[in-house]
Amino acid sequence: MAEPAAVLVAARDEEERIAETVKVLRRAFPGAEVIVADDGSRDATADRAESAGAVVLRLRRRGKGQALSAAERAAPPGSLLLVDADVRGDLTPLVNGDGLRVAAFARRQGGGFGIAKRTARTLIRLRTGFDAREPLSGQRALSAQMRTAVFPLAPGFGAETRMTIDAVLAGVQVEEVELPLEHRATGRDARGFAHRARQLVDALLAAGPLRVNYRGSRLPLVGWAVGLHEPLITAIGLADDRWSGDERGFAAHLRARRTTGVLKLVGIPLVALARTRSLSGALLVALSANALNQLDTKPGRALKAYIAAALALDAPVGLAVLLAPYDLREMTMLGDGGANGLGAMLGSSSVNRFTGRGRWIAIGALAGLTLLGERRSLGELIERTPVLRELDAWGRVP
């Protein structure tokens, strides 16, 4: 690997160290563009990085993985070097090779009890068989060919763990290079343990299924959690997450015939029919599952609709409340598995609540919503309606 085309640095509240980091990187790699992705800093990080000669992306706080992904999109073609904002030491040996090269610290500094690191190692080994020494190291050099294999990165502190997994699964050589580096290590205090807890959670989520959202971010699918309440219908939705094509809407799926959309069209009503033992019950569950899935086009939209309806129908709300902050911050996404599963839960609660004419009125309303969604985007209708637009945007990261 020759000198990288760009050096990417994700930084948040690093005003004391970022200028020196940028200067060192510019001296070490004079032909590379140094891009600092400022992840919503509350201090002068962006200004000091810019004064030191870096190209600065001033971002709203998204997390490390999203910040680096934004920097990668702004980088010129070619190989990349990823560097933490607080690292000190010579990184030039890291670019002398191919594939993915990861810096391993020659001497341990600070840290906790190693739980997050051991967990990340285990996740990588379970997914790929590769035994990583430094699964959380942010100092990484990757070839131009590697960019398409690993970007966009998993969100937050799960970026490194998933990068190693993606590289190994893509057949790329991963080499860990021991270097005499230093960084500002977190200690065994409340702040340090909170940081490592976020690393642990992000690594666990990043090792699972991921999907690219409407903004181009690659997020963990957490719909499988809904399977604790609604296993079969959630599983059918997860199949659509995993193997779906470009078809959108029932008509397109029926024309294509053998699609995961047709599996949902047939499978969800059959599961509901077996459970409710009535045609009206099957229709209510299937239409509810589809309606919530149609709303899952922006972060938090489907979960807000679910919580509002669940409170009225006395359906479980605990899981949705737990998932909502992550979904709104674009750290996770429901996917078809989660949206279909939650919608089916609403349908099941409706079956228990409505009988006779009331049930058929609910079926008619949901059928009308489904037909409307086939012809027009429900999301666009929400965004054109003032009150709904404000409720829809509440809590979402702009």
97 domain residue, yes or no: yes
Say whether both 226 and 81 belong to one domain.
no
Is residue 244 predicted with pLDDT exceeding 80? Answer: no
Q: What is the dihedral of CA 43, 47, 48, 50, to 10 degrees?
A: 150
Tokens standing for residue 167: 């590289």
297 domain residue, yes or no: yes
Say whether both 188 and 270 belong to one domain.
no
Whole-number Å distance between alpha carbons of 167 and 327 = 27
216 domain residue, yes or no: no
Is residue 253 predicted with pLDDT exceeding 70? Answer: no
Say whether both 32 and 100 belong to one domain.
yes
Q: Which comes out higher in pLDDT, residue 2 or 149?
A: 149
213 domain residue, yes or no: no
Pairing mode of beta strands 55-59, 174-179: unpaired
Tokens standing for residue 349: 């609660």
Say whether both 288 and 180 belong to one domain.
no
Say whether both 225 and 204 belong to one domain.
no
Contact 151, 79 (CB under 8 A): no
Say whether both 310 and 274 belong to one domain.
yes
Domain boundary among 153, 186, 208: 208
Determine the average pLDDT of the residues in 95-103. Answer: 87
Say whether both 362 and 255 belong to one domain.
yes
Is residue 288 predicted with pLDDT exceeding 90? Answer: yes
For 58, the enclosing helix (H) or strand (E) is strand 55-59
Q: What angle do CA 172, 178, 179 make, to 5 degrees?
A: 120
Helices 386-393/301-313 angle, 10° precision: 100
- What integer pLDDT is reported at residue 375 of this predicted model? 83
Rg (C-alpha) for the chain, rounded Å, is: 24
For 4, the enclosing helix (H) or strand (E) is none
Say whether both 204 and 225 belong to one domain.
no
Cis peptide before 152 (omega within 30 of 0): yes
Residue 178, SS3? Answer: strand
Say whether both 78 and 168 belong to one domain.
yes
Whole-number Å distance between alpha carbons of 24 and 339 = 48
Domain boundary among 154, 174, 208: 208
Q: How confident is the model at residue 226 (pLDDT cuts 50, 70, 90)?
A: very high
Say whether both 112 and 246 belong to one domain.
no
Q: How confident is the model at residue 262 (pLDDT cuts 50, 70, 90)?
A: confident
50 domain residue, yes or no: yes
Contact 92, 18 (CB under 8 A): no
362 domain residue, yes or no: yes
Say whether both 271 and 129 belong to one domain.
no
Is residue 236 predicted with pLDDT exceeding 80? Answer: yes
Whole-number Å distance between alpha carbons of 229 and 29 = 53
Q: Answer left, alpha or beta for residue 12, where phi above 0 means left and psi between -120 and 50 means alpha.
A: beta
Instruction: Kindly report, residue by residue over 154-190, the tens digit of the pLDDT.
Output: 999 999 999 999 999 999 889 999 998 887 766 666 7
Determine the average pLDDT of the residues in 309-326. Answer: 93
1 domain residue, yes or no: no
Contact 34, 27 (CB under 8 A): no
Whole-number Å distance between alpha carbons of 328 and 321 = 11
Q: How confident is the model at residue 214 (pLDDT cuts 50, 70, 90)?
A: confident
The model's pTM: 0.83
Alpha helices in the chain (DSSP H): 18-28, 45-51, 64-74, 115-128, 144-150, 159-169, 190-206, 231-243, 250-256, 260-276, 279-295, 301-313, 318-328, 335-353, 356-375, 378-384, 386-393
Strand partners, 264: none
Domain of 347 in residue numbering reads as 221-393
For 11, the enclosing helix (H) or strand (E) is strand 6-11
For 245, the enclosing helix (H) or strand (E) is none
Is residue 252 predicted with pLDDT exceeding 70? Answer: no
214 domain residue, yes or no: no
The candidate with the shortest Cα–Cα distance to 181, out of 90, 117, 112, is 90
Q: How many domains does the chain have?
A: 2
Helices 335-353/231-243 angle, 10° precision: 150
Pairing mode of beta strands 55-59, 100-105: unpaired
The candidate with the shortest Cα–Cα distance to 104, out of 123, 128, 87, is 87
Residues found in the chain: 398
Tokens standing for residue 74: 């702004």
Residue 343, SS3? Answer: helix
Contact 207, 127 (CB under 8 A): yes
Residue 45's domain is classified under what CATH number? 3.90.550.10
Domain boundary among 187, 208, 229: 208
Residue found under tokens 């200004």 = 47
- What integer pLDDT is reported at residue 113 of this predicted model? 73
Say whether both 199 and 75 belong to one domain.
yes
- What integer pLDDT is reported at residue 287 of this predicted model? 95
